[in-house]
Structure 1
Amino acid sequence: MNIERPTNWREDFNRRFEENGPWDSWSLYKMSYEIEKMNLIPEFSGLQAPKFLTNLQILPHQLEAAKTVIEKMNGKAILGDEVGLGKTIEAGLILKEYMIRGLVKKALILVPASLQNQWVTELNVRFFIPAIPYRKNTPLDHYDVVIMSMDTAKKSPHREKIYEQDYDMIIIDEAHKLKNHKTQIYEFVQSLKKKFCLLLTATPIQNDVFEIFYLVSLLKPGHLGNFETFQSSFSATKHSLKEEKYLKELVNQVMVRNRRQDTGIEWTNRKVQTIPVHFTEEEREVYDMLYNLKNVSSVFSSSFTMVTLLKEMCSSKEATYLTLKKMLEKCITKEEIDYIEEIINKLMYLEVNSKAEKVLEIVEQCNEKVLIFTEYRATQAYLQWYLNTKGISSVLFNGKFSKSKRDWVKQLFRERDQVLIATESGGEGINLQFCHHVINYDLPWNPMKIEQRIGRVHRLGQEEDVHIYNLAIENTIEQKILDLLGDKINVFEKVVGDLDDILAT
């Protein structure tokens, strides 16, 4: 098929030339002028994006965060708001602003796999940004805004495909997962070209002060010096440092952090209790035998293995049994085998789980929806069985569930069951504002995991005071965990800022 150029323009031009006009149209000029005026951005201060997002209610602290990142931080920042304040909204707003200004065309967003679909929905529906989820054979050349799971991005051949692209902006959700500089995902992100980069995390320090060094170094290499300089300048060890005010000032140059109390929104209160639990004599006997294992068997000489077993015993005999059975296969001497089989035998005859009884007591007193966190799947299954024998309905939550199953579990908890029992992975990506009781059945070493757990219920939309119950068995490893959690919270507050209550004072 031949395409011919129109020739009538020539006749029209000749006619105007002979008649000396008309050469202009006032109405067309006015229309053209109005269009140009609408597209004109006369200065860089202020945000253009909100006037295009009429279906989105943007809160003042979110607007201010976006302005600060764009005007003062040149698009490279840690968005460190407390859990539930809308870091996703802030990131979407910043991305939209840069796209409107023509400074960003291609963007890569790295998220935990469980949050991939949530991000796609947010950007498409709320921000009118045509983002797509990355699948195995998605041609990256054909799409400008791609949302990919961290686990996928760091592996071949996906990693190499990403390196071939020229992304203007990189956004990383749950960026505290990059805390270890020796991991594959950290090295991958470090190698990415980053014109603009946003790291989203409510918990920029989780276990030790060096985590903030590595996060900041991803954004602005050298901002805190190299590792040796950082260590010596602040006399930094994992859980202590000096010159913290100067470090806080440096960190605040690349971090925006809003706290609930600073937003102007009226928040409900947190009421935190640490509830001591006492072992029965039989439970204590098994615990002491486990503690003595390091003197009996070389298999248990590893401090990690010993700590794991002691923590499991503070959780349930079911969790302890599974680890002991695995270890039994590695034993060589008859003495080792006999000792472990004796422990297993005593485990089997335990009739009481003191901590589970305390949970039952709390759940019955509340007579409302309760969210329980445990670190072990075996304990999760046991608690569901135990509560069921007492006439209390519950549903389990696993972070590996598909989006549809997660939504279904949430619906069951809302409409049918009194209790949701979640493993650690339930601390991310599920919002349960209709519940306001949280039991930390097992305490993690990391205080920010507790904050993430509480953040499932204490977030925008919560209308009741939130009650947190931290269970700890006296004279066990859980007592040491409580002490260490306090030290870690102290370091966090020195560098990042005050934290809402997660432990009872």
Structure 2
Amino acid sequence: MSVRYFGRRIDEDLNDQFKDVLKYNFIGFTKDINDDDAMRCSDEKFVPRGEVFIRGTMNDMFDFGLILKNRGFDVSMLRSVTSKLLSNGVIEKIKEKRKLDGFEDLESFVSTVKTYEDAFFAEKDTPDGDFYRQQIDGVSFLYSSNSALLGDSVGTGKTLQCVIAADMRIKHDKGKCIVVTVNSVVPQYMKEIEKITGVDPSEISDNPHSNAKYRVLSYTLFSKPGSREDVTNHLREEARSGDINVLILDEVHNVKNGNPRHRNANGDLKHRSNHTTFNIQEVSQYVPFVWGASATIVANKPIDLYNQMVAVNHKLGKIGYGKFKFEFDSGGVKEKLISADKLKEILLDQGVYVQRTKKSIRGDMPEQFVAEQDAVINTHDLDNSVRSRMSGYKNPNLPISAMTAFRTSVAEHKVPQSLAIADSVLSQGKKVAIFTNFNESADLLTHGLRAILEKYQIDGTVAQIRGNQRNRQQIVENFKSPNSTDMAIVINIKAGGTGLDFPNILKDVIVNDFDWSVAQDEQSLGRFYRINSQEDINVTYVIANSTLDRDFYQILDNKRRIAERIKKLSEEEMQMLNDGIRGRNKRLRELRDARHEALMEQEQLGGDKDIINNMGNQVIRDLNNPDILANSNKMMKNWFKRLKQ
């Protein structure tokens, strides 16, 4: 398609970019732009074969001009056209975007943001601390955006930025703020709001029917049959009346699945599936400011992003689901990766997406070092333990049953080695943290850590974070306190993988047993490796080399190494994109080709279901292998039994 801009032919490099800018900036206002259309521009209107196709608001024109300017177009004539269209009533004049309303200039805005520093850093025992400039930029981005996705990496302060922006926004516009997050994080988020804003605790509630200024709710309230309709109806009516001004969707990747055809169109909430996604959208459509936060936004498949666009009321959510899927999620793996790159550029162009890493925010960020240690275990006892567990399952011969039984059992058998590492740390008077997936191994670790403290006559205690703890928040606060007696903490990966913030408390982290998800693994380690960390963090993975645990760890390690490669390539790519570089830039193409290659390599390692099936079937085969049973008797004596006694 040959494109002309105010009578001037656009060179090949900008040709496709111009089409995408037109197509995706005026969603809901334009006809389809087909390859056989010859587009040209006059001084009064944009015409494809004589038909006016741009109809929108001043904000759409504002976005259009800004994107074109960033991509190297001369927009002086566009300003003249916009002025004429505005004066003739062709486009609607509405509030200017990116305006820091309520503030005379950026300097006064920054000064207000910095008033939150004292309360925030006082709790961290660093009263002279300062927010990083990029964090302040993040607050500005959110405050001035009706629709926003904050994609900063784990440990960069997404909660901090969201809460400050929300507090400043509702102080200016009045109204209330709703935060939706995962269930285990609700108490921690409530505490963060109190600490950052200084509001009275009575103004923060986890009750959806409360009249509090801040309500922090779990995603499960929008999906659980006993609560979802009541909660959604109540909040929807409240939003319709204008009482809710800000909606923060923390861990927004929870709002992704669902074909809109399964959403009830009558508003009575009788959806066919995906109640969380559709009920969130029922409420968010009436809220002026909707912000999503997650470290894995663009890491998701493009189609996963569709419902997030709908939830934050962005214009891309106005594209039909089928058309969005065709544009961004069709073809083979390579084609989908290219489409994802295009979608990322569109999000950046339209100012709806921001993503920074810890090291891009802070140049002197300490390191996180990863090591591994072998746990020598008695495989005969391990096999017996696995068999015993499987016999108690309803469907013991399924791969997932074998995999669960093996992981639970090997986690317990690795406890002695984890405790040996912890012993070397505690003997120096230093604190230690240990991650595990299972409550059984967590109890063994807690018992063993107490024994170590007693052996060295250390006057200290051991904290434990696990699922469904009513006093979880108190445990967290006690461990973080400078006067805490806790010398060690045992954390269930699922319960403590998100929402916890433990910087500068300890330097040594032990992973007794690991999750097969790289994202979950990063989330867990991110509890201690934070943007304000002052020292390096040492992470040690405990691996039972004589078992399938080594194979399992190798899969995770391969995934993690590829993910790290992808992250480094993405960081350089994002820097170029943030600098306005687009299209066929040679270095940008090289980075994307390398990242695509790494992503396809990652794809070949298989997903969670593949791992469960392959490893589970291998467990079943090994349990029936007589050679393995014979060799297991040659292993060292069983430290696990001694520990349990």
TM-score calculated relative to the size of structure 1: 0.69
Which whole-Å CA distance do the structure 2 matches of 1:207 and 1:383 have between them? 35
Q: 3-state DSSP class of the match of 2:366? A: coil
Is contact 1:270–1:465 with CA below 8 Å preserved after alignment?
A: yes
Does residue 445 (structure 1) correspond to residue 516 (structure 2)? The answer is yes
Is contact 1:206–1:448 with CA below 8 Å preserved after alignment?
A: no
Residue in structure 2 matching 1:262, options 340, 343, 360: 360
| Counterpart for residue 297 of structure 2 | 204
Does residue 109 (structure 1) correspond to residue 179 (structure 2)? The answer is yes
The structure, 1 or 2, with the larger RCO (C-alpha pairs under 8 Å, 6+ apart) is 1
Does residue 476 (structure 1) correspond to residue 538 (structure 2)? The answer is no
Residue in structure 2 matching 1:379, options 441, 446, 468: 441
Does residue 161 (structure 1) correspond to residue 228 (structure 2)? The answer is no
Mapping of residues 52-63 of structure 1, within 5 Å: 54-56=115-117, 57-63=130-136
Q: Counterpart of 2:528 in structure 1: which amino acid? A: V
From the superposition, tell whether residues 375 and 203 of structure 1 become closer, same or farther in structure 2 (CA, over 3 Å). same
| Counterpart for residue 497 of structure 1 | 570
Which whole-Å CA distance do the structure 1 matches of 2:140 and 2:332 have between them? 31
Q: Counterpart of 1:146 in structure 2: which amino acid? A: R
Is contact 1:173–1:201 with CA below 8 Å preserved after alignment?
A: yes
Is contact 1:114–1:402 with CA below 8 Å preserved after alignment?
A: no
| Counterpart for residue 456 of structure 1 | 527
Which whole-Å CA distance do the structure 1 matches of 2:386 and 2:188 have between them? 46
From the superposition, tell whether residues 47 and 384 of structure 1 become closer, same or farther in structure 2 (CA, over 3 Å). same
Deviations 1:124-167 (A, max 9, x none): 56446678333558454xx5543333334552422221111123
Report the Cα offset of residue 281 of structure 1. 3.8
Report the Cα offset of residue 212 of structure 1. 4.8
Is contact 2:386–2:406 with CA below 8 Å preserved after alignment?
A: no
Is contact 1:443–1:472 with CA below 8 Å preserved after alignment?
A: no
Which whole-Å CA distance do the structure 2 matches of 1:421 and 1:409 have between them? 14
Is contact 1:234–1:244 with CA below 8 Å preserved after alignment?
A: no
From the superposition, tell whether residues 246 and 290 of structure 1 become closer, same or farther in structure 2 (CA, over 3 Å). farther
| Counterpart for residue 280 of structure 1 | 378
Is contact 2:150–2:292 with CA below 8 Å preserved after alignment?
A: yes
Does residue 176 (structure 1) correspond to residue 249 (structure 2)? The answer is no
Q: 3-state DSSP class of the match of 1:48? A: helix
Is contact 2:132–2:362 with CA below 8 Å preserved after alignment?
A: no
Is contact 2:189–2:499 with CA below 8 Å preserved after alignment?
A: no
From the superposition, tell whether residues 408 and 260 of structure 1 become closer, same or farther in structure 2 (CA, over 3 Å). closer
Structure 2 residue runs of 5 or longer lacking an equivalent are 1-99, 118-129, 259-272, 573-645
Report the Cα offset of residue 119 of structure 1. 4.1
Mapping of residues 31-180 of structure 1, within 5 Å: 48=109, 50-51=111-112, 54-56=115-117, 57-69=130-142, 74-99=145-170, 102=173, 105-120=175-190, 122-123=192-193, 126-127=196-197, 132-134=203-205, 136=207, 138-140=209-211, 143=212, 145-152=214-221, 154=223, 155-156=227-228, 157-166=230-239, 167-180=244-257
Report the Cα offset of residue 444 of structure 1. 0.7
Which whole-Å CA distance do the structure 2 matches of 1:491 and 1:242 have between them? 18
Is contact 1:372–1:439 with CA below 8 Å preserved after alignment?
A: yes
Is contact 2:436–2:491 with CA below 8 Å preserved after alignment?
A: yes
| Counterpart for residue 188 of structure 1 | 279
How much is the aligned-residue C-alpha RMSD, in angstroms? 4.1
Is contact 1:206–1:446 with CA below 8 Å preserved after alignment?
A: no
| Counterpart for residue 361 of structure 1 | 420
Mapping of residues 344-359 of structure 1, within 5 Å: 353=413, 355-359=414-418
Is contact 1:395–1:417 with CA below 8 Å preserved after alignment?
A: yes
Which whole-Å CA distance do the structure 1 matches of 2:432 and 2:179 have between them? 34
From the superposition, tell whether residues 489 and 144 of structure 1 become closer, same or farther in structure 2 (CA, over 3 Å). farther
Q: 3-state DSSP class of the match of 1:315? A: helix
Which whole-Å CA distance do the structure 2 matches of 1:309 and 1:228 have between them? 42
Q: 3-state DSSP class of the match of 1:204? A: coil
From the superposition, tell whether residues 422 and 86 of structure 1 become closer, same or farther in structure 2 (CA, over 3 Å). same
Which whole-Å CA distance do the structure 1 matches of 2:475 and 2:105 have between them? 42
Does residue 394 (structure 1) correspond to residue 466 (structure 2)? The answer is no
Is contact 1:372–1:438 with CA below 8 Å preserved after alignment?
A: yes
From the superposition, tell whether residues 262 and 135 of structure 1 become closer, same or farther in structure 2 (CA, over 3 Å). closer
Q: 3-state DSSP class of the match of 1:444? A: coil
Matched pairs, number: 415
Q: Counterpart of 2:395 in structure 1: which amino acid? A: V
From the superposition, tell whether residues 186 and 137 of structure 1 become closer, same or farther in structure 2 (CA, over 3 Å). closer
Structure 1 residue runs of 5 or longer lacking an equivalent are 1-38, 317-352, 500-505
Report the Cα offset of residue 461 of structure 1. 4.0
Is contact 2:302–2:328 with CA below 8 Å preserved after alignment?
A: no
Does residue 418 (structure 1) correspond to residue 487 (structure 2)? The answer is yes
Report the Cα offset of residue 449 of structure 1. 1.7
Larger Rg: 1
From the superposition, tell whether residues 231 and 290 of structure 1 become closer, same or farther in structure 2 (CA, over 3 Å). farther
Segment drifting more, 197-206 vs 484-493: 484-493
Report the Cα offset of residue 375 of structure 1. 0.7
Which whole-Å CA distance do the structure 2 matches of 1:489 and 1:46 have between them? 42
Q: 3-state DSSP class of the match of 2:570? A: coil
Segment drifting more, 182-191 vs 464-473: 182-191
Q: 3-state DSSP class of the match of 2:440? A: helix
| Counterpart for residue 408 of structure 2 | 312
Report the Cα offset of residue 460 of structure 1. 4.0
Is contact 2:186–2:206 with CA below 8 Å preserved after alignment?
A: no
Q: 3-state DSSP class of the match of 2:295? A: coil
